[in-house]
Amino acid sequence: MAEIVIMPKQGLQMAEGTIMEWLVNEGEEVTEGSPLFEMETDKLTITIDAGSNGTLLKILRGPGDVVPITEPIAIIGEKGEDYSALLNSMGAPPVAENVESENETADEVTVESIKAEAVKVPRTGKVFASPRAKMLAEEKGIDYADVDGSGPEGLIIEKDVLEYAANPIQKTAATPLARKVAELENIDINNIQGSGARNKVLAEDVRASLSAGQTPVQTDVTQLDEELIPIKGMRKIVAERMKTSLSEMAQANHRITVDMTNSVSLREQFKAMGTKVSYNDIVLRCAAKALTEFPMMNSSWTEKGIILKKYVNIGMAVAIDQGLIVPVIKNIHLKSLDAIAKESSELASKAKENRLQPEDYTRGTFTVSNLGMFDIDGFTAIINPPEAGILAVGKLAKKPVVINDEIVIRMMMQLSLTYDHRTVDGAPAAQFLKRIKELLENPMLLI
């Protein structure tokens, strides 16, 4: 019996995913647990396995499609099985109706080079729409033939009608080619009088307006010497979360300079014993201890109250090709420095190889971000909601400092703490940062 494959939810905050590649072609057999497709979330690219045995009968969403969680993306069943009833149950069977169209092709548009553009599937003599889309269009008095479909093979779905109704730019009836000509020539199609049936704008009308001297409008459409990079996947989610973080939190910042000379010696001792420990591992261990002493820094703000976390899970920001991801070391306050070093190395490797699982990057209570390896002296990081703070770590460098009225060379490093002032006041935040400094300058206090 045929069954629907949906966009899976990989993480509590995931709302949508981008299909990167189908690893099986339509008509090929799949087995339960075998790789089916690759998807990109806000966190990483992951391979999704088939949930059952059968044949991949139909791919509903292709590579590059951004799909909300639980939305159908494919159908698996027995070879040759009729799955039309399953399509009907999804509320999106293709219903064909004859509607007026222009005998136009995209070949009529000549442009030397287009580096980036996003267009709907062009239609010829027929328009396909789901029953729900047709019913909604009728309720709103919209000719659904004017709506660009985003479903499989240009199918018009309910969402397309809603977007059409909400977007005043789409109120002007026009053929897909007319819209494309207007877009390429940077012309506002709403100012053009259509010559088609029911005043529909044709491509000829757009060209005529150009001949008449209509002035191109300033839009977000890229020029020929520019490239438009679609905002999607991890980049889109990171942007949304950072904007939300800055707009909803009262973020404040403290900075402090740390003498890392003793921490350098500690690292050398571990190295002599054959254990690889990074400076960031030492920072993580010190931050974990400080969080147990300053519980408000290990909390989250909610409308109902402040949630104090009795566990310490520190996220470590890792740069990957797709953007930034923050794998989390769980219960880090209970772990030794060498155990932290081992786990942080494993998580960083998994992140760069796209092998992280949702449990590897969720339930963080605090974050440490280190840009020292890029020769950055110091920086201000943005809090990862719903956490109360983030520690930014700069580079380690030899600096002249005054100790006992003498100028000496020491290994110095800058720390920057961004904290949510709704949850934590300035004084305790400063004390928390000072405590991390004390631990880094006297790492024997960790024992």
Q: Annotated active-site positions, please?
A: 421, 425
The amino acid occupying position 234 is M
Residue with structure tokens 């709302």? 15
Q: Give whole-number Cα distances, 374 to 327, 335, 348, 393, in Å.
A: 20, 28, 17, 11
CA distance 354 to 64: 18
DSSP state letter for 112: S
Structure token pair of residue 372: 């020292």
Helix residue ranges, H only, 294-425: 337-352
The amino acid occupying position 116 is A
Phi-psi region of 141 (alpha: psi -120 to 50; beta: other; left: phi over 0): left
CB contact at 8 A, 161 and 144: yes
CA distance 15 to 42: 9
Structure token pair of residue 415: 């720390």
What is Dmax (Cα atoms) for the chain?
91
CA distance 29 to 27: 7
Residue with structure tokens 């966009």? 7
E runs forming strands in 240-350:
251-259, 299-302, 305-308, 314-316, 318-320, 323-325, 328-329
